[in-house]
Each structure stands twice: as structure tokens, then as C-alpha cells.
Amino acid sequence: MSIISLITGWPGPSGFGSASTAEEVSEGIDAANLTAIVTGGASGIGLETVRVLAMRKVHVIIGARNLEAANKAKHQLLEQNPAAKLDVLKLDLSSIKSTTEFAHNFLALNLPLNILINNAGVMFCPFQLSEDGIELQFATNHLGHFLLTNLLLEKMKSTAKSTGIEGRIVNLSSIAHVHTFGDGIRFNKINDKNGYSDKRAYGQSKLANILHVKELTRRFKEEGVNITANAVHPGLIMTPLMRHSMLLMRLLQAFSFFIWKNVPQGAATTCYVALHPSLKGVSGKYFLDCNEKRASSYARDETLAKRLWDFSKNLINSSYKV
């Protein structure tokens, strides 16, 4: 997508563009037989994603760290759409224990799982470690979603097999994935405060989101699994995610107002990739403004994707003490 398309909102090959909203890209889709999990679904574009999926009759489970806020959001959505099927479960993706408990609690509901939207995240945090001793942006944005996805994969596989309906995994990445550390991922310095940059650490975690779907896709094809995995950049949207750099973002917005999106536009690419029938069988791709976009060279590196997968598994195993 060119800067002209971004500014004007002109549609790309998909028929949609930067000005498209989540409602517009999912118009006419009846998803009454689908169940989805949306992490971070209590605010921002996550909440809009939940609202639109519920509008399309998807049964949505909201994974949220703040249960009070999530339940309040659920009740507001039910006031707007009394027929919506919504549930809330506690989920703190920075915690291996919480992520594991969420997966177990979801599986105990004995529901199918067609769509997993890994939406939640933190952005531009000062250096800090999670309760498991892992740098917070990497722990929350990548590792938590990596673990959650792995814990739910068998459920997604069995759902796809029993229903014949393609499963879809959507990772929210960012164009910020191009602004990372020198080797893409600081494997030997993930938790090192020396040389830490909040912006590059964020970019690293967003690069990891794309590499994650690349390796998932390779494994799905190898196994012949009827599930796809794709990454999306939602665009520049002023949401609570930017709380660590709100002043900087507002200054940036003042000088680049023409490329910023509102929340309904910000949720469009997520809903498009999660629901649109034109993407059946499409996997391992990176989407911007509802159109496929070429990601960075690091993001296309299959060897790096495989290394990240193994590193992530080992990091979880070595960090989590039962």
C-alpha cells in the first residue's frame, strides 16, 4: 500500500483500504457457528474487534487482565446487542502461570475454537522484568501469545477436523517490526538492561509476532492441518496501549494526522483476516489496511522463525517454576 492509498483511503486489491471499518470489511458475513478468543478485548481495537465479531454472531471469549473493566465492557456490548454471545476469562499474558490457567479454564468450558486473535500487548515500556524474569514487552507481546497458542492448538485442530471449518490465528504485529535490534531478536540478551531501548524492544516483540505465524504456517503445512496463521498491522491509532508515551504520540499525531486511524478503522484488518472468505487457505502473511504487505527481511527469514520457536519454548521451560 502506497502513502497515497494510506492518506486517501483508496482500496487495494482486496477492495478495502485504510479508511475501511471493521463493520464494512465483515458486512454480510454470518459467523454464527464460530467461536473466537480475543486477548485484550476489553479496550481499544480489541474491544471493537469483539463488538464486530459478536455482531457477526461469533461466540467471543474475552481474555483480559482487568476483569472489572472486561465485565463492564461486556455489559455495555450486551446493552447494544442483547443477542451477543460473550464470556470473560482472566488473562495476564506477561505471566506464564496466568496464561496457562486461562487456557485450562477455556478448555474446561468444552467449547470449540475456530479463531484465536492474539491482540493484547504493551508498548514502549521502561525496562522491567515480568514475574517470570523476562523483559516485559517480549514476555507480553510475544511469549504469552506463543504459549497461549501452543496450549490451544490441539483444541483448534480438533475443531477444524470435526467441523470442516478452517481455523484462523491472527497475531497483531506492527509496522514497528522494522525498527528492532541489530540481529532482529536479541536471543542472548533478551533480559539484559544494557543496550535496552523501549522502541527497539517493542519492534523486536512485533517482529516476533510475524515470525511466530511464519513458523506456525510451516508446521501446519507439514502436518496438513486446516488452520491458517497471519499477522496484521492495525495502523496508527490512539489507544490505551500508548499510555507509556502518550505525550510523544500526541505530538506525532499533530504532525501526521492524515495517516492516523480511528478505532473502527484500526480493527478492520483484524476482522478482515479473521472472517473474510477470500482469505481461505492464505497463511504466513502480513497484512496492512486489509491487503497483503511485504514484511521486513528479518520477518521473512524462515531460519530465524524456527530459531525463535525453539528459543521461546526453552525460555518458558526454564523460566516457569511450578
Compute the distance between CA of residue 235 and CA of residue 248 in angstroms, rounded to an integer.
17
Of 170, 118, 149, the closest CA to residue 282 belongs to 170
Question: Residue 240: its pLDDT value, please?
Answer: 53
pLDDT band for 252, please (50, 70, 90 cuts): very low
Identify whether the C-beta of residue 201 lies closer than 8 Å to the C-beta of residue 135: yes
**Coil, strand or helix at 271:** helix
CA nearest to 54, candidates 75, 67, 72, 65: 75
Q: How confident is the model at residue 5 (pLDDT cuts 50, 70, 90)?
A: low
| Residue 292 DSSP one-character state | E
**How far apart, in whole angstroms, are the C-alpha atoms of residue 123 and residue 242?**
6
Q: E-strand spans in the chain? A: 35-39, 59-64, 85-90, 115-118, 167-172, 227-233, 236-237, 260-261, 286-288, 291-292
Question: How do residues 185-202 score in pLDDT, each as one tens digit?
Answer: 999 999 999 999 999 999
Grid cell listed for 301: 527469514
**Mean pLDDT estimate for the chain:** 92
Neighbours of 281 (CB within 10 A): 7
pLDDT digits (tens, 9 = 90+) for 66-79: 999 999 999 999 99
pLDDT (tens digit per residue) in 87-102: 999 999 999 999 999 9
Mapped onto helix, strand or coil, the DSSP state of residue 122 is coil
**Averaged pLDDT, 258-278:** 90
* Cα gap 169→300, rounded to integer Å: 18
Helices (H) and strands (E) in the chain, counts: 12, 10
CA distance 172 to 122: 12
Using pLDDT thresholds of 50, 70 and 90, give the confidence band for residue 321.
low
Mean pLDDT, to the nearest integer, of 252-270? 72
Distance CA 73, CA 79 (A): 10
- What is the pTM (predicted TM-score) of this model? 0.92
The predicted-structure confidence for 162-176, as pLDDT tens digits, reads as follows 999 999 999 999 999
With cell 455495555, the residue in question is 76
| Residues 96, 62, 114, 215, Cα dihedral to 10° | -40
Domains within the chain, CATH numbers bracketed: 3-319 (3.40.50.720)
Say if residues 90 and 98 touch (Cβ distance below 8 Å): yes
For the chain, the first-to-last Cα distance in angstroms comes to 47
Contact between 142 and 102 (Cβ < 8 Å): no
| Mean pLDDT on 207-212 | 98
Neighbours of 108 (CB within 10 A): 8
> Pairing mode, if any, of strands 291-292 and 286-288?
antiparallel
Exposure b/e, 234-257, CB count within 10 A at least 16 = b: bbbbbbebbeebeeebeeeeeeee
Cβ atoms of 16 and 278 within 8 Å: the answer is no
Provide the annotated active-site residues.
Answer: 196
